Amino acid sequence: MRKLLALAGGVMSHHDGILTINLHAIARNWLALNRKVGDAQCAAVVKANAYGLGMVPVARCLAQVGCTTFFVATVDEAIELREGLGEAPDIVVLGGVRPGREPALVANGIWPSLFSVEAIARWQRATTAADRSAPCVVKVNTGMTRLGLELSELATYVASPLAQQLDVRHFMSHLACADEPAHPLNHEQLAQYQTGAALAAAVWPQALLSFANSSGIFLGPQWHQQLVRPGAALYGVNPTPGQPNPMEPVVSLRLPVIQYRRLTSPAAVGYSATATCQPGQRLAVVLGGYADGLQRQLSSRGEGVFAGCRVPLVGRVSMDATIFDVSEVPEQELPPIGEAYIEVLNRELTVNLVASHMNTIGYEVLTSLGSRYQREYVELGGLPS
Ligand SMILES: *Cc1c(COP(=O)(O)O)cnc(C)c1O
């Protein structure tokens, strides 16, 4: 459900968790990256529902501030995005085109990433009959060994007459270790990419050279090439782990308290009785658990913010409920049920911090966010400064 956030006044009465997505912050993050890459173009990766934050609202907001190229993972995502954005923006499917889906791409003006000789040949066969042009993106493997033609395959292909007929708009590769600037693979991949780019430029001079994801942008200008493809950084994930986060936080998540409890005798807390609490401790149970993306790894590790205090998560996270020790909050300051929310993601409890509590990365925190939250978008009014 989309709802405009009431920014001032008025007590909101909600019953479920509230996920707030700040589109202003996403726009400012994109503008900051766009400035950082200078003459290169800045695209936006909005796959997986914009990392769980809402593909169409996020992409519309970015289109409003000047983004003209969007990357998704699947054909279905691309079609939904085309419907949401209209004709103008360029849309690329990173997951390529599986046999039979070629006409859907051509009909919607969507470009597949072609990462094998087989996929290129199939795209050419399927689209020669089409009366619309069939632009595409060619992707090479430069050392990640996931998707992409080998450079030897590229060299053979570009020497064939068929290559002249392929309408290539981007020449792409992807970095495996961009979040570790000292990793030697970053330079090795760059060298491989330059070799591939020289082959590509000779036959497809119009193709934009595209290499860097979010962290790749921070490796330095050599990695920028002509088109960068940030995803995570737009959504506030730190692209420079171990250093201060240059991006603005984007999400906050509050879960409603559905029960308070003051212990009068020692008690085991939660499934498997992994925690014990003592008389005098106060607990608050919130509606929200691992089915909502509070992964079970947070058990006895997570934290919340409640009435201005950091409050520890106690015991196991269950599917729909999570327990916090709110003893720190003076009893007379406990908000009544119905107005009480514990924040589990905010400026202080950042996506990266929560990821460390979950033994994972910010990407997975965002894409795990459940579908049961009421989603509130801080909408883009005028252009952000
Ligand atoms: C997901 C993805 C990106 C975006 O990566 P981030 O690290 O989120 O910026 C860029 N390029 C490719 C090929 C991807 O799969």
What CATH number does the domain containing 212 carry? 3.20.20.10
Q: Is any atom of ligand 1 closer than 6 Å to the C-beta of 230?
A: yes
The stretch 182-198 carries a mean pLDDT of 98
Establish if 242 belongs to a structural domain: no
Is 45 near ligand 1, meaning CB less than 6 Å away?
A: yes
Per-residue pLDDT, 7:
43
* Tokens standing for residue 149: 């033609």
Same domain for 162 and 295? no
In a shared domain, residues 153 and 115: yes
Q: Is the dihedral of CA 79, 80, 82, 86 positive or negative?
A: positive
Same domain, 218 and 277: no
One domain, residues 257 and 175: no
The atom number, within ligand 1, closest to the CA of 172 reads 13
Active site residue 235: no
Q: Is the residue at 13 inside a domain? A: no
Cα–ligand 1 centroid distance for 174 (angstroms): 8
Cβ neighbours, 10 Å, residue 111: 23
Q: Which tens digit of pLDDT belongs to each residue from 317-368?
A: 999 999 999 999 999 999 999 999 999 999 999 999 999 999 999 999 999 9
Given CA atoms 31, 32, 34, 39 in this order, what sign does their dihedral have? positive
Among 341, 248, 357, 251, smallest CA distance to 302 is for 357
Both structure tokens of 240: 């420079």
Is 234 a pocket residue for ligand 1 (Cβ < 6 Å)? no
pLDDT-above-70 percentage for the chain: 95
**Which of 11-20, 245-254, 335-344 is predicted least confidently?**
11-20
Domain membership of residue 114 (yes or no) is yes
For residue 3, what pLDDT band results from cuts at 50, 70 and 90?
very low
Within this chain, do residues 112 and 154 fall inside the same structural domain, yes or no? yes
Contacts 24+ apart (CB under 8 A), 202-208: 202/158, 203/158, 203/163, 203/164, 204/138, 204/163, 204/166, 204/168, 204/171, 206/168, 206/169, 207/138, 207/168, 207/169, 207/170, 207/171, 208/41, 208/169, 208/170, 208/171
* Ligand 1 close to Cβ of residue 229 (< 6 A): yes
Q: How many domains does the chain have?
A: 2
> Which of the four pLDDT bands, split at 50, 70 and 90, describes residue 382?
low
Judgement on whether residues 143 and 229 belong to the same structural domain of the protein: yes
Tally of residues, the chain: 385
**Ligand 1 binding pocket includes 232 (Cβ within 6 Å):** yes
- The answer to whether residue 10 scores a pLDDT higher than 80 is no
Instruction: Return the residue matching tokens 């400012």.
Output: 28
Q: Which atom of ligand 1 is nearest to the CA of 179?
A: 7
In a domain, 153, yes or no: yes
**What is the average per-residue pLDDT within 189-199?**
98
User: What is the rounded CA–CA span in Å between residue 129 and residue 154?
Assistant: 24
**Residue 178 — pLDDT band, cuts 50, 70, 90?**
very high
Average pLDDT in the chain: 94
pLDDT band at 15; cut points 50, 70, 90: low
For ligand 1, say whether the CB of 174 is within 6 Å of any of its atoms: yes
Whole-angstrom distance, CA of residue 181 vs CA of residue 179: 6
Give distance in angstroms: CA of 45 to centre of ligand 1: 6
Task: Please work out whether the CB of residue 231 comes within 6 Å of at least one atom of ligand 1.
Answer: yes
Quote the ligand 1 centre to 161 CA distance (angstroms).
Answer: 32
Smallest CA separation from ligand 1 atom 3, residue: 213
Cβ 94 under 6 angstroms from ligand 1: yes
Q: Is the dihedral of CA 337, 339, 345, 349 positive or negative?
A: negative
Extract the runs of DSSP E, i.e. beta strands, from 204-250: 208-210, 227-228
Predicted pLDDT at 359: 97
Name which of 256, 180, 233 is nearest 50 in CA terms.
233
| pTM for the whole structure | 0.94
Name beta bridge partners: 71. 45, 92
Distance 77 CA to ligand 1 centre (A): 15
**Marked catalytic residue, from 47, 193, 363, 373:** 47
368 within some domain: no
Instruction: Tell me, yes or no, whether 231 and 259 share the same domain.
Output: no
Q: Does residue 215 share a domain with residue 94?
A: yes
Q: Are residues 185 and 314 in the same domain?
A: no
Whether 47 is a known active-site residue: answer yes
Q: Is residue 182 part of a domain?
A: yes
Pocket test for ligand 1, best of 70, 94, 250 (most atoms within 8 A of CB): 94
Asked whether 255 and 354 are in contact (CB, 8 A), the reply is no
33-69 tens-digit pLDDT: 999 999 999 999 999 999 999 999 999 999 999 999 9
Mean pLDDT along residues 255-271: 97
Calpha distance 221→36 (Å, rounded)? 9
Do 174 and 148 meet the contact criterion of CB atoms below 8 Å apart?
yes
Backbone dihedral region for residue 302 (phi beyond 0: left; psi -120 to 50: alpha; all else: beta): beta
Owner of token pair 């883009």: 380
- Provide the b/e sequence for 185-194 (b: ≥16 CB within 10 Å): bbeebbebbe
- At 277, the amino acid letter reads C
Of the residues 235, 265, 287, which one is the last residue of a structural domain?
235
Domain region containing 292: 251-349
Query: Per-residue pLDDT for 211 more than 90?
Result: yes
Name the percent of the chain lying above pLDDT 90: 92
Domain finish residue from 210, 235, 260: 235
State the pLDDT confidence band at 14, using cuts at 50, 70 and 90: low
Q: Residues with Cβ < 8 Å from 361, sequence gap 6 or more?
A: 237, 355
Same domain, 171 and 38: yes
CATH number at residue 282: 2.40.37.10
In a domain, 8, yes or no: no
Evaluate if residue 385 carries a pLDDT over 60. Answer: no
Select which of 157, 235, 260, 271 is catalytic. Answer: 271
Look at residue 193 and tell me if it is in a domain.
yes
| 3-class secondary structure, 378 | strand
Q: Report the chain's terminal Cα–Cα distance, integer Å.
A: 28
Using pLDDT thresholds of 50, 70 and 90, give the confidence band for residue 240: very high
The DSSP bridge partners found for residue 260 are 284
**Domain identity same for 47 and 195:** yes
Task: Tell whether 230 and 84 lie within a shared domain.
Answer: yes
Model confidence at 119: pLDDT above 70: yes
DSSP code for 369: -
Task: Please give the pLDDT value at position 131.
Answer: 72
CA 46 to centroid of ligand 1, rounded, Å: 9
DSSP SS3 for 55? helix
How far is the centre of ligand 1, averaged over its atoms, from the C-alpha of 231 (Å)?
6
Q: Which of 36, 89, 39 is nearest to 67 (CA)?
A: 89
- Ligand 1 centre to CA of 72 (Å) is 9
Nearest to 236 by CA among 246, 244, 227: 246
